[in-house]
Structure 1
């Protein structure tokens, strides 16, 4: 991690930004959670998880907007982070062919009939994103969303311990790349092909980092990743981020604000590696520090399956 210090300086205004994201969550996402989820225990757990996910997405997306010189919208950022988190966990837990098909219809703008509170919540959050976005279906964000769903469905192959390394790498890169294009395109209408290509590269590395941080959960769930196999280290991920600096700088010019966010994410991963209990039983998810260090879990699991303290 020492050499990663060359990535960037500190993220400015962390506490102020986190408070802004938490407030946006409270005004935009929380009312939808309250209306969609009937069980009080599940509602509280989902709320904590989505608040943390939305705030973390806010930091990443605002880093992008500063680098790209486009306006930042906290409402869309926290909504995007919440949808991404809920979608991932819903498919991880209940990823049947039938659910994949019904979600494809939803993302294509068609009808969707929820069969439980979690599906209802995902549908309502996604519809709110569509409403606030106000774009035609020809905007590249919708093609990127379709790609995310296709790659996410393909990622079910990761339950096979014998999945070839090349296939695993392709799934990881494609899934992460498309997901970050969607999140950043929330802020950038009509994103160009060239920019999407750059962002896909960033997303592929961020997916490796996400897998690295979730290695214990993935191992427990029988999900195969490069991190689970011990084929990627935090130093490898730092190196990949450093490699990306030149093409990002060539395209955007000023990349330090975005690099600073990546640097902060890397340091949180490093801290979790050495202090696995970081964020468990600590500050509430509604505090600035709490939203940053809250560890991952599967928010749609039954209460008895969740990790203690989450």
Structure 2
């Protein structure tokens, strides 16, 4: 059954899941959400699997009308949102009823929002993904960004409970970032001075940045020097790979990256920091930090634990039983304890 109608699509709104993996060898971009953390939490808040399809908005959110009762949640950038004219919180799920109007504003901080609906958005599964590839016009809703008048469905789901993500765990989006990088790929193609420049410079995100890649310019104008040339025989591109073309200014490859590239790659942004970059606006300052693989793996484990830990969420149980159970973490004498609080009336 049709679930919601787009009244105003915002600047760029697409259907995305965690990506179309396993097909880069055939020239098919992975696509998928830019900010995995926000998208996964949005799905958790409405009782979905973390890979269910969501809406990804950019800078300016959408306006939609609910055509049936459903549970929804918005995560990501600080974007004022209302349901029937009343302010609602992000990182929290709500029950909407038929005829309700949801309006999202412009991000005050951060760049992207994720809107999840209980059951997940019902669009065709193409190469194991429901993500939109805009350049190839494949996946998502008719292979394109959403437009006013579009009507979408979600899969059936009997979830009726609402959750709130622990406020202490919500990321803040800064205008100055430290981004951790693991040297690799073709780092030996750069001079020692070039490597030093890469880690010592402050870079600014260019206006010429999008879902495909984030272009950077060093504040001092210094360039990263190659030993011989910026060109290599084309090889595979990963999410977060940092290419350095002949200009000596780095480009971070993002969700809609091409499958292969012929520029040297100095290293790769660790997975945990890709969500920071996904929310970074043009003008944001970046400093790169030399990092190691083991610590990067531990960061991934810690983040996944936060997403999947029930204690990360405050749960409001069925109101017919008229009680609320909440989960907290408390610190006492330097030790962290898990606490559950239940009120029965």
TM-score class, shorter-chain normalisation, is under 0.3
TM-score after normalising by structure 2: 0.25
Higher helix share: 1
Q: Which has the higher contact order (CA 8 A, sep 6+)?
A: 1
- The higher radius of gyration belongs to 2
More strand by share: 2
